[in-house]
Homo-oligomer: A and B are copies of this chain.
Amino acid sequence: MNPHVIILEMKKLLGQLDTWLDKAVAYGEAKKFDPNVLAQSRLAPDMFAFVRQVQSTCDSAKFAAARTAGKDAPSHPDTEQTIDDLKKRVATVIAYLGTFSAKDFEGADERSISLPRWEGKSMSATNYLVEHAQPNFFFHLTTTYALLRHAGVDVGKRDFLGPMTWR
């Protein structure tokens, strides 16, 4: 398999996240509260707030694509405060992931990746994608979903998974 299928899946799931944000806004309107209060919600007091869960989901996907392909990732400062800000951030990353093709990921098993905080150690691009980028992406994506679900937003498993690529 080519790692590009994993990047395409991240792109699809970011599109799903965007629909959850729409449902969060609709829920706020129906219950007459400002949906932006959700941006500071947390599952535990020492976990990241919702806004940072979404930012981290976006960054995990961005770095997954860039680093696995051996490219430099664009910088996205974490300045978002509202649901609308977060929707724009998500759209930016979806567009960025759309610039990659299968060819960009050829040779990922041989390519080495090293980050400054790894203190000289390195991983293959494939291992980075599967052991670091994907678990981080899904961690923050699922925590984002869990925060909305815990708050009563009407999202379900189909909203999480999105459409399948049938043959």
A contacts, CB < 8 Å to B: 1-3, 5-6, 9, 12-13, 43-44, 47, 108-109, 112, 121-124, 126-127, 129-132, 134-136, 138-139, 141-143, 145-146, 149-150, 152, 157, 160-161, 164-167
Q: Contact between B167 and A112 (Cβ–Cβ < 8 Å)?
A: yes
For the complex, what is the distance from the CA of A136 to the CA of B5, rounded to whole Å?
16
> CB distance B43 to A127 under 8 Å?
no
Asked if A134 and B131 make an inter-chain contact with CB atoms under 8 angstroms apart, the answer reads: no
Given contacts A1-B108, A43-B150, A149-B47, whether A9 and B165 have CB atoms under 8 Å apart is no
Q: Is the CB of A150 within 8 A of B13?
A: no
The reply to whether B5 and A126 contact each other, CB–CB distance below 8 Å, is: yes
Residues of B within 8 A of A5 (CB): 126-127, 130
Contacts of A134 in B (CB 8 A): 9, 134, 138
The smallest C-beta distance from A59 to any residue of chain B, in angstroms, reads 14
Interface residue from B138, B161, B164 paired with A127 (Cβ < 8 Å)? B164
Check A149–B43 contact: CB distance below 8 A.
yes
A1, chain B: closest CB distance, angstroms: 5
CB-defined A-B contacts under 8 Å, sample of 18: A1-B3, A1-B130, A12-B131, A43-B149, A47-B149, A121-B167, A122-B166, A122-B167, A123-B165, A123-B166, A127-B165, A131-B161, A134-B138, A138-B142, A139-B142, A139-B145, A142-B146, A146-B146
Which of chain B's residues have a CB closer than 8 A to the CB of A145? 139
- Interface centre among A5, A9, A131, by most B CB within 10 Å? A131
Considering only CB atoms, which chain B residue lies closest to A45 in the complex? B152
